[in-house]
Amino acid sequence: MSASGARRWPYPRILAHRGGGKLAPENTLGAIRLGAAMGFHGVEFDVMLAGCGTPVLIHDETLKRTTGGRGEVARTPYGTLAQLDAGAWHSRPFRGERIPRFEDAARLCRELHLWANVEIKPATGHERRTGEAVARAAHTLWRGAAQPPVLSSFSPLALAAARHAAPELPRGLLVGRIPRHWRELMQDLECVALHCNYRALSRRLAAQIHAAGYAILAWTVNDRRSARKLFGWGVNCLVTDALDRVGAEFR
């Protein structure tokens, strides 16, 4: 990475998606440990609020896919979530993994010297509340850290709330397709990076984003050819599910 690129993105160049990509049950402490064991220096994971307001790591608004449980995360207290098995769906070795609290994941990241991209994943109707809660927790959990996490979200409302709650923490706007008014959104939310589906990028668009002063994080890149192409365009960071294929050679 060039000196200007390093200033724009002083974080790891490649992140393990949801902790351990496809090699571990997503958004669990076991996944984060696996990412670290495979030599990754940064991880990405999702944070949502349980029914009691506790920030927890989970992607879906409902419990069925990754726990076999029933109901909505936003209506279920953490005491109930903590009893669910969040690893058995993936494979036998991860049976017994639990839905971790955000604070548990943050402490593990700091213990393992892992940088984190924290995706604020609000349940519908909880955008502002989730943005505020996750930002405040991150402010406390990474106090004194050399590199605080970047807070990202698809929700401008959640990012705006995070900016208000912890303005010193860097933010990234998540998008699938890159909207025409991306500059206005980035300016309004005071983001440092645009986090986009790598298929939405072109060399020309990447150059425009960099020229505007923003870093680029591309997701979810699972083959070496695409990774080389994107880094050739100056993309600052990639998120991957394929930890065994897109890994050490790109760090």
Domain boundaries, the chain: 3-61+100-250
Q: What is the mean pLDDT of the chain?
A: 96
pLDDT band at 8 (very low <50, low <70, confident <90, very high): confident
Identify whether 113 is a catalytic site residue.
no
Pull the structure tokens for residue 27: 């958004």
CB 201 within 8 A of CB 230: yes
Q: What mean pLDDT is predicted for residues 194-211?
A: 98
Q: What is the DSSP string of 121-174?
A: -PPTT-HHHHHHHHHHHHHHHTTT-SSPPEEEES-HHHHHHHHHH-TTS-EEEE
Whether residue 251 is predicted with pLDDT greater than 80 in this model: the reply is no
pLDDT in tens, 96-123: 999 999 999 999 999 999 999 999 999 9
Residue 249 pLDDT > 90: no
Determine the topology of domain 3-61+100-250 in CATH.
Answer: TIM Barrel (3.20.20)
Query: Among residues 18, 36, 38, which one has the least CA distance to residue 28?
Result: 18
Contact yes or no for 26/19 (Cβ under 8 A): yes
Choosing from 17, 90, 126, 210, the catalytic residue is 17
DSSP state of 74: G
Question: What pLDDT is recorded for position 30?
Answer: 98
Establish how many alpha carbons lie within 13 A of residue 65's alpha carbon, considering only the half-sphere containing its beta carbon.
9
Q: How far apart are CA 62 and CA 69, in angstroms?
A: 8
More confident residue, 250 or 133: 133
> What pLDDT is stored for residue 5 in this prediction?
61
pLDDT above 90: residue 207: yes
User: With b meaning 16 or more CB within 10 Å and e meaning fewer, what string describes 5-32?
Assistant: beebbebbbbbbbbbbbbbbbbbbbbbb
Q: Is the pLDDT of residue 39 over 80?
A: yes
Query: Do the beta carbons of residue 178 and residue 205 sit within 8 Å?
Result: yes
